[in-house]
Chains A and B, each alone.
Chain A
Amino acid sequence: MGRLHTEEMILNMGPQHPSTHGVLRLKLITDGEIVSHVEPVIGYLHRSFEKHAENLEYQMVSPFVDRADYIAAMNNGHAYAIAVEKMLGIELPPRVEYIRVIMAEFQRIASHLIAVGTFGLDVGGITPFIYCMRERELILDLFEMASGARLLYNYIWIGGLAHDLPAGWVEKAYEFLDEFDFHVEEYNRILTTNKIFIERTADVGVLPVEVAINYGVTGPNLRGSGIPFDVRKNQPYSFYDRFEWKVPVGEGAMGSVGDSWDRYMVRIEEMLESAKIIRQALDQLPAEGDVKAAIPKKIRPPKGAEIYSRYENPRGELGFYIRSDGTNIPTRVKMRSPAFSNISALNEISQGWMMSDVITILGSLDIVLGEIDR
């Protein structure tokens, strides 16, 4: 009886699908509920950022960078600014570095809130998502106070910041931090420790360490597999070596190391770590100081200068490779997008799971299509 002939079905999941986190198309080959092959088809949001960058001045590129990973615009701007500053060898005032760290970590919290919330949506819980968005709003309020925008800030410029922090910002930031731990506890109560949620995510989509390394998976996904790799710790940039914090890794508390639950939990813990960093940075923030370093109006790195700079984005290692030909327009800007590498592991880890599990795994990888397609 078990030899009954069945046919495989080709199923297009996306681009118009509630759970593909944007315009991703997954071509599934399924046998009943079980998925035997997953092929991510990308490019629906391609805006040829890298080609654009070859025709624009260095400063003009930075708004484009924001639009790549629109969930973590502040981090992307920061990464690009660091790369160009390294090429130029600029030393920044300490106040700038502190504010950048604060902004970057706030953005990391906001991004992880979306990741956690939408992961909840993917497994069917709607309320956690709204709770997460509630706290994200507060962070966006802070960003709006500082930069005037709520999604794409263009706040971190090459050689400094767009503006100084407005009056009362620091107090509001402290206010947010004071309440944040309580809110994380709320997410833990409604989602993390929910029996159904654990059943749905524990042991699902285990990402073995070798696979993760072979595909170049970074960020919370790699840490979920138990590797404590974080660019902020391993190759500290900015002022990250001045703070005390730890790199949370997946421990397989509910299932095996590297399952979807671990990846989710790493994000929850990282939010708390980020909050710790922000608190320390706010404490150490110099009261007065310039927010712009003295840089030339036209940035002209020396001819032939090239750099690859690494940065820890909420989604993993964000790299910028920039080459200069001595003019104020870069010859090449290459972005190593973390989500692109992360999603390439999807097929490997979701074969042989059910369709619902593929959604869970995709949600736990936390991709942003703007960054994958660029």
Chain B
Amino acid sequence: MLEHYGTALALGIVGFLLMYAAFIIQKLVGPKNSTDVKLDTYECGEEPEGETWIQFNVRFYVIALIFIIFDIEVVFLFPWAVVFKDLGFLTFIEVFVFISILVVGLAYVWKKGDLQWVKMKLKYGTGRYSASNLLEKENLKEAA
């Protein structure tokens, strides 16, 4: 039993060592003539403007939370799936209820619009996320 994971571990170690050997070869034979410009950050041939490590707007917070909920759900379902055949109809009902609750959750999140990649309005422009465009759509909806 344990030897299975031993094999996986060995594979990881062997892979790491062999790739590390490649790095050593590179150290030995590769050229080393770096300049400041070469080591500069790439920004399409221009000097980088401004910081990269800023408070980046990933718009992902809610989706990350939903992901955690659903991923744990999947993890919970794996043991059920394995024994499903043996335990039969009762577990079917139980899981049906379990999934239904989550479906309700998904539907709620969907309705709230949190599954949208972008849930914001820009004050400028005519794009999909500009205030004028979204407002127009809302007005259309209300009119309908």
Direct touch of chains A and B (CB < 8 A):
yes
Q: With A and B bound together, what is the CA distance between A346 and B122 in angstroms?
A: 17
Chain B positions 48 through 67: 1 when the CB is less than 8 Å from some CB of chain A, otherwise 0: 11101011111101100000
A352/B122 contact (C-beta < 8 A), A9-B50, A12-B49, A34-B129 known:
yes
| Contact status B125-A17, CB under 8 Å | no
Total number of B residues with any Cβ neighbor in A under 8 Å:
29
Tell me if B's interface is mostly helix, strand, loop or mixed: loop
A344 within 8 A of B: no
Chain A positions 61 through 76: 1 when the CB is less than 8 Å from some CB of chain B, otherwise 0: 0000000000000000
Residues of B within 8 Å of A349, CB to CB, are: 126
Partner among B46, B61, B118, B126 whose Cβ is within 8 Å of the Cβ of A33? B118
| Contact status A16-B45, CB under 8 Å | yes
Q: Which residue of the partner chain B has the closest CB to A203?
A: B128
A15/B46 contact (C-beta < 8 A), A4-B61, A32-B56 known:
yes
Q: Which residue of the partner chain A has the closest CB to B119?
A: A2
The smallest C-beta distance from B48 to any residue of chain A, in angstroms, reads 8
| Contact status B129-A16, CB under 8 Å | no
Q: With A and B bound together, what is the CA distance between A4 and B43 in angstroms?
A: 27
Chain B positions 106 through 144: 1 when the CB is less than 8 Å from some CB of chain A, otherwise 0: 000000000001111010111111100100000000000
A350 within 8 A of B: yes
B87 within 8 A of A: no
A352/B58 contact (C-beta < 8 A), A12-B46, A33-B118, A34-B118 known:
no
| Contact status A350-B127, CB under 8 Å | yes
Q: With A and B bound together, what is the CA distance between A32 and B126 in angstroms?
A: 17
On chain A, which size bracket covers the interface? 35 or more
The smallest C-beta distance from B7 to any residue of chain A, in angstroms, reads 39
Residues of B within 8 Å of A348, CB to CB, are: 126
A12/B43 contact (C-beta < 8 A), A351-B126, A352-B126 known:
yes
Q: Which residue of the partner chain A has the closest CB to B54?
A: A7
Q: With A and B bound together, what is the CA distance between A174 and B135 in angstroms?
A: 54
B44 within 8 A of A: yes
Q: Which B residues are closer than 8 A to A by beta carbons?
A: 43-46, 48-50, 52, 54-59, 61-62, 117-120, 122, 124-130, 133
The 9 closest A-B pairs by CB, nearest first: A351-B125, A352-B127, A352-B125, A32-B57, A352-B130, A16-B45, A6-B57, A353-B127, A7-B54
